[in-house]
Structure 1
């Protein structure tokens, strides 16, 4: 433990059975099952409303799963089940979900420390400007999208090149100047953002790894994935281990749409920055750029967790969400248990299982 833990005065301490940290889809699903089991709990989030991570994403975002495969437990998506919801529809759904079930949601509660309570079982959850919570159980549901990650060579680009991570990208008008833009990344967000910018007519250089697999994103494919059990195969099963070792596919339709833009040029996987402000790819090199959008993923930032449940790389150490700290678990991480763990589709099943395991504690 990095520093001694003291219990605040009674006036500044809120006692509850369970604290859920994060009010995105994973935290809301956990809240549903805690309510079903009549557990006294608090749902905390640093933002002023539930689903805030979705509200901050880019304007043109759409879910990669249809509404029928994206709902949380106890409340299906409204409207056409075959529809692929937009960013704003997803945000509205999550906020409606929290309000519908009247969860004990406490917004504007940024957690600054999670530590073992001194001289008694349980944990203390300290917040920046609110109370400290004493709880027997803690569910960390802050999700995988915490700290943006960029290549180690990104700082080698000259200052004249504007750099923006996809976490902060919302629309093409944010990008300065009329000059060429590079979008770096080999995931679905990179394809959607590149198409978003290409639609304005600006030259877009797409640093995309051509070996990335692509799959259709249609109703038959989703029916097959669900019925065949590919999304729910645990990473600890033979099938799950095979799937876990493969690169994440992108949507073939999004890739095809981007290739139709004459002003979108694919340069292969990005490998280096050049002194003139260009990016070198495995297939081609860009001209000097005005802007680079890094759609290169995230890395964890759990420095506020003062428990021996993190690896040397900062990633949580867990088995299907459960940690070595009795009563502490994670939800909403990539491959927490299966491919769907970080998706809306998987929030409910993971939450049901993890909550049930935590409630077995004496």
Structure 2
């Protein structure tokens, strides 16, 4: 069995930032990435996705995002950036290595691979993100809906929905962006439990992220104080607010049911629908930790305090939403959390 200082599970932005921080502490991490490329979930997002933060606020430690620092990078640019970042790291990054289970072993952990391989690790960093675990709320009647039902994780482009009646469920950035894009080729309703809340992308001529950093709100360690994440604001340059104001798409409360090819609205109206898109977010994708007592709660969410597992010494997390701060699961903020867990793991291993 191969023996390793720290196994990092996931080769996206969180795993790469973790590897960088661990290397700075003199540790030799091995990064295990399930896909064939160290770019995380970015290559699988919908085609038109662009960052809501400018390039100058969207880089990992040690390598600025190339090009115009004030532009908003496209999905493919982010994937290329992460691939280049991985190539520059002096780290052992193994693509095509899917982790299926982590268990306690002699002196640390045993990490089981889908290939049947087994690694011994003194410590483990779970940095596998959320894209592999789309949240599909139990909306009444969805199991009987005979139209197209998909999550935003499966959505790529609007053309296949041309001329159709589409309902997009959600009120966050992706929900609004996808609904507005689909509305250029289809008749679309954005269905949400509450009205969409917007945040201006530019304030006094500066991007919102400038003010978040200047005020300290971006890095304030508030994650441990929140019982649940606050309502997400949709970052907007004015286009999405205007589109909703014009009813393209329109916004309604979430339907109360679905019956075969119809949705039932709150007023009792039944309407034919060709497709329902669930832009309802994601949850931490950590099934491989299920065999590790104390790592997850009953809902499969990590038990941790600011990224350090509360019941499993030697286990840490990076890339969780509100792990420590507003920016914890973003390109601009994940490096700070990675540095903290690297410092804690280095101290833990030094004591052993």
Q: Same fold (TM over 0.5)?
A: yes
Q: Provide the C-alpha distance between the structure 2 equivalents of 1:78 and 1:286, rounded to a whole number of angstroms.
A: 51
The SS at the match of 2:163 is coil
Aligned to 2:30: 42
Change (3 A) 1:58 1:326: same
SS at match of 2:304: coil
Q: How does 1:128-167 map to 2 (within 5 A)?
A: 128-129=114-115, 131-153=117-139, 155-156=141-142, 158-167=144-153
2:173 aligns to what? 188
* Residue of structure 2 in register with 1:26 after alignment: 14
What whole-Å deviation, never above 9, does each CA across 1:321-356 have from its counterpart, x for those lacking one?
A: 001211110110001111111111111000001100
Deviations 1:228-260 (A, max 9, x none): 1111111267xx649x66311112335324326
SS class of match (2:256): strand
Cα offset, 1:205, TM superposition: 1.1
Distance 1:149 1:236, change over 3 A: closer
Counterpart CA distance in 2 for 1:317 and 1:303 is 13
TM-score, length-scaled by structure 1: 0.88
* Contact map agreement 1:25 1:94 (CA 8 A) in 2: yes
1:168 to 2:154 alignment? yes
Aligned to 1:233: 220
Contact map agreement 1:109 1:130 (CA 8 A) in 2: no
Q: Give me the CA root mean square deviation.
A: 2.2
- In structure 1, the partner of 2:286 is 302
8 Å CA contact 1:183, 1:294 repeated in 2: yes
Q: How does 1:282-361 map to 2 (within 5 A)?
A: 287-305=271-289, 306-307=291-292, 308-323=294-309, 324-361=311-348
Residue correspondences, number: 342
Aligned to 1:129, what secondary structure does the other structure show?
coil
Equivalent residues of 1:123, 1:138 under 8 A apart: yes
Q: Could you give the per-residue CA deviations for residues 106-155 of structure 1, whole angstroms, max 9, x where no partner exists?
A: 001110100100xx211011100152111111000011333122221365
| 5+ residue gaps, structure 2 | none
What 5-or-longer segments of structure 1 have no aligned partner? 1-12
Residue 95 of structure 1 and its aligned partner are, at CA, apart by 0.5
Match of 1:258 among 231, 238, 243: 243
**When you count strand as a share of all residues, which structure comes out higher?**
2
Which residue of 2 is the match for residue 4 of structure 1? none
The superposition leaves residues 18-46 of structure 1 with CA deviations (integer Å, 9 ceiling, x where unpaired) of 10000111110011112222312210011
Contact 1:62 1:85 in 2 (8 A): yes
Cα deviation digits, residues 308-330 of structure 1 (max 9, x gap):
22112211110100012111101
Q: Name whichever of 315-324 and 294-303 sits farther off.
A: 294-303
Q: Does the CA-based 8 Å contact 2:11-2:31 persist in structure 1?
A: yes
2:190–2:250 contact (8 Å) kept in structure 1? yes
Change (3 A) 1:320 1:53: same
The answer to whether residue 94 in structure 2 is matched with residue 106 in structure 1 is: yes
Q: Deviations over 1:74-110 (max 9, x none)?
A: 0000001111111001111111100122421100111
Contact 1:191/1:255 (8 A) holds in 2:
yes
Task: Write the distance in 1 (CA, Å) between the matches of 2:27 and 2:60.
Answer: 19
